[in-house]
Structure 1
Amino acid sequence: MNLNNIHNIYFIGIGGIGMSALARYFRANNKNVAGYDKTQTEITNALVDLDVHVHFEDNVACIDSKFINKDNTLVVYTPAIPKTHSELQYFLGNNFKVLKRSEILGLITEHTFCLAVAGTHGKTTTTSILGHLMYECNVELTAFLGGITENYNSNLILRGTEVSVVEADEFDRSFLTLSPNLACVTSMDADHLDIYGDSLELIKTFEAFTKKIKPDGKLFVKNGLPLKGITYGIEDNADYSVQNIKIIDGVYVFDVKTPKAVLKDVQFSLPGRHNLSNALIALAMAVEYGCDTNALIKALASYKGVKRRFSYQIKTDDLVFIDDYAHHPEEINAVHQAVREMYPSKSVLAVFQPHLYSRTRDFIDGFAKSLSQFDEVLLLDIYPARELPIEGVTSSWLLEKISNQNKQLVSKKDMITKIKESDAQIILTIGAGDIGEQVKTIKKELSVAI
């Protein structure tokens, strides 16, 4: 398909973080863009500001008439949309060009020099660091991000079309539509078992992804993963490694050993060893692409982070409020490590909203263990996203398994009251559901109390 011949792009699920990045991209290329989403959010409001028509009722009658011409309209949908969705059924039933988001990403990037970031954790932060590094090195790139980066206040970095930087998403095997020149795998922990069934099938799919790399391309692998490639790691003997780590005024200062040199006194401000690892692999990919190392060191120091990834909302001597997207036990462990490293003597309250019934069921013991590390836990009901309830899988079940006795189940209505009753000096909101929509209100209420 030649996307140049398509004038109208209609998105079903336009408010999704990956879908909205594509919508921004096509709007920037002067296409007519519109779409449906079930909920009005800051993301959909930002699209409306770009002259994108968005509606929130699953109703064919709401579709703008210019998108009813199937000869020059492309329809894009996300796998999170149920097959019974009436607008999706309309477009399929009338033989429109209908493609998944991942297929469109494959089409956009296939004729570019593509750098792809894969892994069950760390994709969004790593991709946004990589996009920022290459932008600051004046590369003509388009970067599609799975989060809103603080440096650009967007999930799209757009300077040109020679190079593309993308998240290679394992959900629904989406990353198999890509053919990257440079790719990395940050992690392969079990996840999305509703799709894969077991961890072995997940690993096989990652192996299939590595075979999609172009013949003259390169694969970067976190040290210890069962894949062959250029290795990277923290304080080990990998091809690229971080050495001599110090924390000075809340900023990491370290050296980077590359296959050809040692980069001295590199600075990076995001807390947590997991973020240090994300910065390292982004740096390594940019070095292998050919960016100047001095420019990269300067760019890394100016990186500000991604919204909802260890995102500081309040930072005072008396109170710190941090919001994070973590929705897997290993991600919660990473948040815990980061907050304890930065604030070793302060008490921490974690407010967690589980995401998906299936994920809660599959990793119930891991969630309980990771949450038990905090001084206090407030637990919200499970956010269902695309799923129907599973009998017996509830937040009450998870609460019972948390060994820390300073814990309680709370409703969204009572959440802020319970947070304000806590004596904790560090407040964390954690989860991939709609808890992120509550952050502004929590920040406002806590700011009044300071």
Structure 2
Amino acid sequence: MNLNQIHNIYFIGIGGIGMSALARYFKNIGKNVSGYDKTETQLTKELQQEGIQVHFEDNINLIPKDFYVENTLVVITPAVPVLLAEWNYFIERKFIIKKRAEVLGLITKDTFCFAVAGTHGKTTTSSILAHILLDSGLDVTSFLGGIVENYNSNLVGNGKTITVVEADEFDRSFLHLHPNIACITSMDADHLDIYGDANAIEESFREFADKVEDKSKLFYANGLVLDGVSVGVNDDAKITAQNIKIEKGYYVFDAKFGNELIENIQFGLPGHHNLSNALMALSMAKTYGVENDKIKNALASFKGIRRRFSFQIREEKLTYIDDYAHHPTEINAVHQAVTELFPNKKVCAVFQPHLFSRTKDFADDFAKSLSKFDEVLLLEIYPARELPMEGVNSTWLLGKVENKNKKLISKEELFTEIKASDATVFVTIGAGDLGEMVPQIKKTLSEKVELE
């Protein structure tokens, strides 16, 4: 398929973080772009403000008439239900229909492609890398799974020769990519509804790793069993962070890169997992040939990603952090970071589990992760693409949490509960629609500080 010959691109699930980056890309290069999503969000509002038509009812009559022609490409996300009327309309009329990952593979095939894989850390690592490359003056376009604060977008740059992409393991999507330099940040079990077991997901990551022929250009988190260059924090990896200090809220560290020591690197995202992400991005950029000073300047100026340890309130009396974490490993990383930054302060975690299947598969690990916080407010499971599973609910999960200061609450009760809490650090955690509630939570907590 030749994308140059296609003028109309229609997205089913346009509000997804990966889909919206593609929609922005096609809009920027002059294509006619429109799409459907079931829910209006901040991201869909931004797409509409940028001139992209979006509707929220599964109704073929709402598809703009100029998309009924044959040279329309329909892009779908694997999360779309098969009974969707619009999808079936295009199937019946034999339109060209491609998965998001297939389209990403077509776009990046003829570029120098950086691919970032891993069950955790993809978005942060790829966003840091995108910022380094763009800040260094390179001709790059980056398709990201989060909104980068420096650019207020998940599409960064408009270059034609270099691409940065998140290599998504869901539905084995990353096997459509053609990476020149790649990294794997983690290979924890996840998406077991797709893979079945941990061995299958690890095998899929190894298949992705095999796409990088030159193993000096494949970086992986120390401890994984792969053929490439190991990266880690304060350990025996080939590339490592040393002499780590915290100064004025920033990490300051040295990076040992082979026989070279890059000194006094400043980086503002908290948590050792983010130090590891920064090291991965540094390794990939340096391997491409970016100079040390340019890498250091970019790392120091990186502002972070929306919903990735995103400070909403950072006052002496009260702190509010929002994070997308939806896997036990990610929740542990949030806890490590928040307790390192705010020792001896009471931390209240508000958690919305994401998917019945993930909650069922990792219930005991979720319980252990949540038990570490001083106070836990648990919302019901956000189903996303799934139907309920018998016996799998937040009441069941809460029973496993070993914390006396815990409560199951509704979304409506959340605001009353956080007002009543005596915690001074609040963290909202989860990948569901909790993110849409952040502005109101921030407002409620701000009023709480004013009242006190």
Aligned to 2:316: 317
Q: Helix, strand or coil for the counterpart of 1:227? A: coil
1:334 match? 333
For 2:386 and 2:213, the matched residues in 1 are separated by 36
The whole-number CA distance in structure 2 between the counterparts of 1:350 and 1:176 is 36
- Rounded to whole Å, the distance in 2 between the matches of 1:11 and 1:217 is 37
Residue 5 of structure 2 is matched in structure 1 by: 5
Could you tell which deviates more after superposition, 258-267 or 31-40?
Answer: 258-267
The structural deviation recorded for 1:46 is 1.0
Instruction: Tell me how far apart the structure 2 counterparts of residues 437 and 183 of structure 1 sit (CA, whole Å).
Output: 32
Preserved CA contact (<8 Å) 2:21 2:143? yes
Deviations 1:257-284 (A, max 9, x none): 0124101100001000000000000011
Deviation at 1:3? 0.6
Matches within 5 A, 1:221-240: 221-240=220-239
Looking at structure 2, the residues matched to 213 and 96 of structure 1 have their Cα atoms a distance apart, in angstroms, of: 33
SS in structure 2 of the partner of residue 66 of structure 1: helix
Once the two structures are superposed, what CA deviation does each residue of 1:182-233 show, in whole Å capped at 9, x if it has no partner? 0100000100000000000000100111122256872111111011101110
Tell me if structure 1 keeps the 8 A contact 2:143–2:155.
yes
**Contact in 2 for aligned 1:179/1:214 (Cα 8 Å):** no
Measured after TM superposition, the shift of residue 2 of structure 1 is 1.0
1:129-181: CA deviations, max 9, x gaps? 00000001111000001000100000000231100000000001000000100
Q: 1:181·1:217 contact (CA, 8 Å) conserved in 2?
A: no
2:46 maps to: 46
Query: What is the letter of the counterpart of residue 27 of structure 2?
Result: R
Comparing 207-216 with 416-425, greater Cα deviation is found at 207-216
**TM-score of the aligned structures, taking structure 1 as reference length:** 0.99
Which secondary structure state, in structure 1, belongs to the residue aligned with residue 358 of structure 2? helix
Q: Measure the CA separation in 2 of the matches of 1:179 and 1:211.
A: 11
Question: Residue in 1 aligned with 2:342?
Answer: 343
Alignment of 1:119-198 (within 5 A): 119-198=118-197
Q: Secondary structure at the match of 2:232?
A: strand
Residue-by-residue CA offset, 1:404-423 (whole Å, 9 max, x unaligned): 11000000011011011000
Q: Aligned-pair distance for 1:239?
A: 1.7
For the residue of structure 2 that corresponds to 1:117, the secondary structure is strand
Q: Deviations for 1:289-311, whole angstroms, at most 9, x for unmatched residues? A: 11011111011000000000000
* Number of equivalent positions: 449
| Stretch of structure 1 that moved more, 237-246 or 352-361 | 237-246
1:397 and 2:410 aligned: no
Distance (whole Å) between structure 1 residues aligned to residue 393 and residue 267 of structure 2: 39
Superposition RMSD in Å: 0.9
Structure 1 residues 347 and 216 mapped into 2: Cα distance closer, same or farther (>3 Å)?
A: closer
Which digits, 9 at most, give the CA deviation of each residue in 1:299-337, with x for residues without a partner?
A: 100000000000000000110000000000000000000
Secondary structure of 1:344's aligned partner: coil
Match of 1:77 in 2: 76
Q: How far apart in 2 are the matches of 1:274 and 1:243? A: 14
User: In the alignment, which residue of structure 2 is the partner of 1:34?
Assistant: 34
Q: Percent identity?
A: 61
Q: 1:350 to 1:362 in 2, by over 3 A?
A: same
* Number of the residue aligned with 1:19: 19
Amino acid corresponding to residue 10 of structure 1 in structure 2: Y
Provide the secondary structure at the position in 1 that maps to 2:182: strand
> Do the aligned partners of 2:217 and 2:284 also contact (CA within 8 Å) in 1?
no
In 2, the alpha carbon distance for the partners of 1:42 and 1:395 equals: 27
SS of 1:142 mapped into structure 2: strand
* Alignment partners' CA distance in 2, 1:177 and 1:86: 27
Matched with 1:274 is 273
Contact 2:215/2:229, CA 8 A, preserved across alignment: no
State whether residues 168 and 178 of structure 1, in contact with CA within 8 Å, keep that contact through their aligned partners in structure 2: yes
Distance in 2, Cα, partners of 1:173 & 1:6:
26
Would you say the 8 A contact 1:134–1:286 is kept in 2?
yes
Give the whole-Å Cα distance in 2 for the aligned partners of 1:250 and 1:362: 36
1:361-380 Cα shifts (integer Å, max 9, x gaps): 00000000000000000000
Which letter maps to 1:36? Answer: Y
Q: Note the residue ranges of structure 1 that are not aligned, 5 or more in a row.
A: none
Unaligned runs of 5+ in 2: none
For the residue of structure 2 that corresponds to 1:238, the secondary structure is: coil
Matched with 2:298 is: 299
Do structure 1's residue 360 and structure 2's residue 359 form an aligned pair? yes
Residue 55 of structure 1 pairs with residue 55 of structure 2: yes
Aligned to 1:376: 375
Q: Quick check: 2:215–2:228 contact (8 Å CA) kept in 1?
A: no
Q: Deviations over 1:323-368 (max 9, x none)?
A: 0000000000000000010011101000000000000000000000
**One-letter code of the match for 1:321?**
Y
Contact 2:147 2:153 in 1 (8 A): yes
Q: Deviations along 1:222-248, whole A, 9 cap, x unmatched?
A: 111011101110012222110000001
| Separation (CA, whole Å) in 2 of partners of 1:143 and 1:175 | 15
Paired residue secondary structure (2:293): helix
- 1:205 & 1:424 partners in 2: Cα distance? 42
Contact kept? 2:130, 2:142, Cα under 8 Å: yes
- 1:409 is aligned to 408
- Matched-pair contact (CA < 8 Å) for 2:347–2:425: yes
Aligned mates of 1:69, 1:79 — CA distance in 2? 24
SS for the counterpart of 2:246 is strand
Residue pair 2:326, 2:429 contacting (<8 A) in 1 also: yes
Q: Distance in 2 between matches of 1:397 and 1:375?
A: 20
User: 1:393 is paired with a residue of what secondary structure?
Assistant: coil
Given residue 121 of structure 2, which amino acid in structure 1 is its aligned partner? G
Q: What amino acid is the match of 2:184?
A: V
> Any runs of at least 4 consecutive aligned residues in structure 1 with deviations exceeding 3 A, and if so which?
214-217
What residue identity is the alignment partner of 2:62?
A: C
Equivalents in 2 of 1:8, 1:147: separation in Å?
25
Alignment of 1:85-124 (within 5 A): 85-124=84-123
One-letter identity of the residue aligned with 1:382: I
Aligned mates of 1:306, 1:69 — CA distance in 2: 38
Q: Within 2, Cα distance between the matches of 1:330 and 1:221? A: 17
TM-score (normalizing by structure 2): 0.98
Asked if the contact 2:14/2:35 (under 8 Å) is kept, the reply is yes
Contact 1:181 1:216 in 2 (8 A): no
C-alpha distance after superposition, 1:60-80 (max 9, x if no partner): 11100110001x110000011
- What CA deviation, in whole Å up to 9, does each residue of 1:22-69 have, x standing for no partner? 000000000000000001111111111121111111011110011000
Letter matched to residue 318 of structure 2: L
SS state at 1:264 partner = strand
| Whole-angstrom CA distance in 2 between matches of 1:51 and 1:216 | 43
Cα distance in 1, alignment partners of residues 336 and 13 from structure 2: 35
